[in-house]
Structure 1
Amino acid sequence: MNSFLLFNSKNTLLILLAIILLQSTVTMINDGIDFRHLLPPGIAIIAFFLYSKQTRKETYLIKALFTLAKQISQGKLEYRITHIPSDAELSTLAWNFNSALDQIETYIREVSNCFSEAEQQRFYRKPQVRGIKGVFADNLGYIDNSLSMMEENYLSSLKESLFSELGQMKTENMLSSLQRTQQDLATITQQMQQVESITKTASNIAAESGASLASVTDKLTSIIEKIEALKTSSTDLSKSSKEIGDVTSLITNIADQTNLLALNAAIEAARAGEHGRGFAVVADEVRRLAENTKNATAQIHSTVNRFAKASLSIVQDTESMASMTDESKAAINQFERNISQVSSISMETYGKVVFTQMVGEVTYAKVNQMIYVQQGYRAMELGADSPAAKAVNLSHHNCKLGQWYHTGIGAQHYGHLPSYAKIDKPHELAHVNMQAAIQKLSDNWQSSQSIQAEIVSNFRDVEKYSLDVARLLDAIIEEKKLFESGISHDNSDADLF
């Protein structure tokens, strides 16, 4: 193209100039040398010189434009046309190309810098639209909006990452806490069983003590009655002793009088002489009899006095014993009331201990199910081969709740209650849905919305059936309280219908 332009511009002028010079030379040869014949060639030479000078400027710009186009085709935008002649026809085009390249380079640099900073999460570097025109400025505005959205997404991702990490930490800690709670509940249940046994023994002892105390009270009452009778008898005996003393006093007086009469008879017999000798003998015998009677009466009186003193002492001791027995009876009655109250408290405590143990056992079962569900969520995070996945890949007979339900404490203590049999079905369905969700981890669930929806549905059912299990476990507590008096683990105590 460059050769074509040269041929159609400079070469053409050279040919015309040569023709003019040849014509002027022929004219001067024919007509002779004349200054007027030199004027056209001179003008032509001057015109050719001026044209050549302008052509060199245009040719320079054309070559520069070709170079610029080549640089652009190679993806190099640094090249600029320099030394642009102001009087060249293509100068405006050259300046426009330079300005366009400035726009493009600035646009690309702004885009590159903004996205480079955005890759480093430095979203404060916004595209500068100053000096940018037209579609470039519009696109930078769009890019600014895109960067703002990227910043929002980045901040959202940071928040989601934080919440995800916190959620994972919460899940791990909650699972760990539930496992520790599970161990604590197992320990509490074991201890409550021992406390129940001890409390039941204490309650039985209190009941037996109450019965024994009642027997002692009855016997003490009988003793008090006998002491009262003894007190009455002692009083009567004291009165009888006084009466005997009075009789012995009377006998003593009679003996004294008899002795006096015998003495008078002996005196009268002595006065009678021989005629009164026999009467004197009788009088002596009567006197001796009176003396013997007096002596015997004195001994009897002495004995009766001692007996009276002993009877008085017995009466006083009996009265003291009666007073002490009354006080003892009052103390024993108070003790009996205390024992009765202690027995009542022991029975009430035993009932509360049994209820607490029952709540602990049922709570232990509910915690086992909660841990099972949390292990399922953990398995979704860690994968199908994780320990958590293996922990939930159990039948509803072999998990901890299943063991508690089928062969453990649950079956022993609550198996006869109406709601107990209803637990098995939702428990089984919870396991079925959990295992169905875990099996889907082996499929391409990351890119399949349908599989993800199925997993969510499975876990929703797991939560639903687990809630049903928890409600039924709560129901057996109420049934245990309602149907069984005294809250006993002995099935024979239950009166269900």
Structure 2
Amino acid sequence: MYIPDGLLSTPVWVAMLLIALVVFEQTLKRGKVMAATELKNGGETVANPELNELLSTLEEKEAEVGRLKALLDIAEKKGGEVDKLEKEVEELRQKLVEKEKEFERAKKFVRELVRRIPKPVFILFVNKDGVVEYINEYAAKVFGADSIDDAIGKRPSELATNVAAGGRTFIELALENRTTIEGKEGRLKIATGETIPILSSCAPVYIADEFGGVVCSFVDISEQKQKERQIQEIFDYTNTCLNMLSSGIRELQTGNLNVRLEKIKDDEFGKTIDVFNEFAERLSNIIKNLADNMRGTTEQIKEANEAVSQMNAGMQQISSASQQIATGSENLSRLANASVADLKAAEETFKKLGADAEQSTKFTEAASKNAGESKEESEKALQTLGIVVENIEKTASIVEKLEVAVRSIGKVTEKIKSIADQTNLLALNAAIEAARAGEYGRGFAVVADEIRKLAEESRRSTEEIGEIVKGVQEETRKVIDAIMKVKADSAEGGKGIEAALNKAGEIAEAVNRINEMLRNVSKGTEEGLAKIEQLARNFEEVASTAEENAASGEETSAAIEEQTAAVQQVSIAMEKVNEIANKTTQMVLENFKIFEEGVDVSTTRRQ
């Protein structure tokens, strides 16, 4: 710096020097404060050794300036020392130039430092006039400037506008209000027309208590917003899927087993929804099968209960039948014993009848012989009339005895026939009761059938004997009639001798027929006697079997009573099971909706 000689001695120069020193001081202070403010990032000073050293040097130079001011004051007082003062001012000027260079280097360093602040941070310093002085390279590029120098000197609104603040930037708002803005979200519309989300922080800068401008940092939160959108989408998707699952679970809770969910994506939620649908399907099938099975169980229990009731009734019938069989067996045993006694009496009667028949045969043979002799000696009829009459009377007496015996045979045969009919009826009843008793009465049924057959044979034999006896009675009646007529005729004497002789011939023939019939009677009596003896033995076996069957029937009746009690217990248990099955079916149908081919059938099934 060139200063004309003698100028330093003028007050004007001194005043100009003081002004220059003040301006330099203010500039140094402003540079110091700006550097310190511009290096703030999030409220903390950037730790840089060179910058700290520079700040320390500036403070030393500031102290030297203070000393220079003191020297100027001395120079004023001591105007005689102008030369010395001029030299010192020159030295001071040199130092000031150096300090200006150092300040420029510091300013350049700060500018370079701001320029290199990387993405996603925007750094700007706008002076109090609203003009950009510092900006990092990323911000200048995003704002559409060709370079940092192209962005410096422009207003922030020329670079970008704040969509959320009516077109004004946060820097402009901070300049206007001179207030701090911390962590404010906004959207910047840059020169390219693109809108980007940001997080802004702005702070006013004061230099020696004088407002110097606003430093502002922006953070591009596009990626963060993108992440937030993705997270929100994930949250919305998760919420949608959870709502779907929650709604499906509530539907299942209400008993709607037909609920099915439609998955949105084939991911874990999609797999979960598939599992839910499979669970709902399986649960629906389980409940449906349970309802069907319980309904089938109810029907089977009902059928089983009916079967048990029928079995119980059958047991009671079998018990009654067993008691009837026992009673019938006792009666049969009693009747069989009585029949044995009757058959023994009949056997005695038949023996006696056989003996009488044999004697009658002898008598008839004698009568036949006598009749023959009477016929041969018909010429001596008058002489032997008395003998004939006597023989006729004997014959009449024999025939009357024969008629009595024949009637006895008829009564016996009727009694045997009645016994055979009763035996047949008892055998039939015994067979029926044995059939109702099942396995217990099988042996008794065989015996009853044999008794029935013997009874039928005895009845046929008695019918044959009855027919024979009837024929004998008819012939005997004829003989008696003939004898009575002969007797009556004989009373007349000789008048009817010829007729008597003829009648005697007839009598002889009748006696021969009677003799033949009596032989048949004797033969039939022998056969009937043999059958009666066999029938008596069979009746003894029947009585024994009836007694055994009566005892077995009582045991069977006791066993059946035990079975009946067990069946009644089973019936009570079946009723309880049926009640439980009905309640379970009702509960399933009331709590779950069962669908078949898309139609709710649970209501109809409850009915």
TM-score, normalisation: structure 2: 0.37
Query: Higher relative contact order at CA 8 Å, sep ≥6: structure 1 or structure 2?
Result: 2
TM-score after normalising by structure 1: 0.44
Q: Larger helix proportion, structure 1 or 2? A: 1
Return the structure number with greater strand share. Answer: 2
